[in-house]
Each structure stands twice: as C-alpha cells, then as structure tokens.
Amino acid sequence: MPTFDIVSKIDSQTLDNAINNAKKEILNRYDFNDSKSTIELDKKTNEITIVTENDMRLKAIQDSIISRMVKQSIDPSSLDMGKEQYASGNMLRKEIKIREGIDKEAAKKIIKKIKDSGIKVQASMMDDQVRVQGKKIDDLQAVISLCRTEDFGQPLQYINMRN
C-alpha cells in the first residue's frame, strides 16, 4: 500500500548558513558601527538569540535573518518569535525558537482536512509527523496538492513516498 509522511523539518546546515550570512550583513552595515549586537544559533535547542542595544537594531536584525532565510529557501513561518527581554544594562535580548515537527493541533487540522476532502486515504498521527496511506499513488498526490493549498501555520514537507 503506497504511503508518504508529512513532516515539518529544517535543514540545520542551511539554517546555519542563513544565520552566518545575517551576521556578516549586520557587521558590515554602517548603522551598526560600534554596536555590541550579537546573533547566536544554538543547534541543540534550535534557538536563535539576539542581543542588541535598542528596538530599531533588533528589528533590523530580525529582518536580516528573515531575508537570509528566504534566500536560502527556508520558510520563515517556522520561526516562533518570542518577546523582548531586558538583558544587563541597556541591552535587549530576544530568543527566537525554531519549530520542528508537527504539533498535535496542526496534525489534527491536517487529518481533518484530508478526511473532509473525500479522498480515499487514511491519515494517522505518528509522533511529530502525519502518515498518509492509500491504494493509489494518484490519491496520495491529490492529498499533497490539497495540503499545499492550505495554511497550517508551519511549513510542511512531504517525504518517504513509498509504493
């Protein structure tokens, strides 16, 4: 029986490249001259930490990160923007979490959308992904095109198409 998986993952090396390019861009900008701004990516916890002096610089760094992610073909909707916190002195700190895996609410929406479409497939939740099974590959491809038209709040990838 043909199957495929719906997942939400980000290539860590591509994300690292995007963050490094954003760091270089910020260092070379004139308005960031003599700035103590830092951008750090923690690969273990999948968090980007930004520390800077004021809101204007924080917004510029966020825009730079998002534009570099788009250029590296990473969907910026996978970023979970946190709130700004005051660090030591007059510094601002912001932690941006990178969402990976489909959470239960999004998985329920995906499964409900597939069942409501009337396509003859079975969809089930498996950890942080959704497995779709059907008798025909054409039905599975119809499910993929259906999921691409809908916005579930996070980027989706379709992997492990098996016959």
pLDDT higher than threshold 90 for residue 68? yes
pLDDT in tens, 87-131: 777 889 999 999 888 988 889 999 999 999 999 999 999 889 999
Q: Which CATH number fits domain 12-98: 3.60.21.10, 3.40.50.12160, 3.30.70.990, 3.10.180.10?
A: 3.30.70.990
Residue 15 — pLDDT band, cuts 50, 70, 90?
very high
pLDDT higher than threshold 90 for residue 21? yes
pLDDT in tens, 73-88: 998 988 988 888 887 7
Please give the sequence-ordered ranges of beta strands (E in DSSP) within the chain, or none if there are none.
3-7, 38-42, 47-52, 79-86, 92-98, 121-126, 129-134, 157-162
Q: What is the pLDDT of residue 83?
A: 86
Q: What is the pLDDT of residue 64?
A: 94
Q: What is the pLDDT of residue 139?
A: 92
Q: What is the pLDDT of residue 112?
A: 92
* Alpha-carbon separation of residue 21 from 27, 70, 117 (angstroms): 10, 12, 42
Examine domains 3-8+101-162 and 12-98 and report if their fold is the same.
yes
CATH architecture of 3-8+101-162: 2-Layer Sandwich (3.30)
134 burial (CB, 10 Å; 0-12 / 13-18 / 19+) is buried
Average pLDDT over residues 56-61: 92
Q: Is the dihedral of CA 111, 116, 117, 119 positive or negative?
A: positive
Task: Quickly count: other Cβ atoms within 10 Å of residue 64's Cβ.
Answer: 21
Residue 35 — pLDDT band, cuts 50, 70, 90?
confident
Residue boundaries of the structural domains of the chain = 3-8+101-162, 12-98
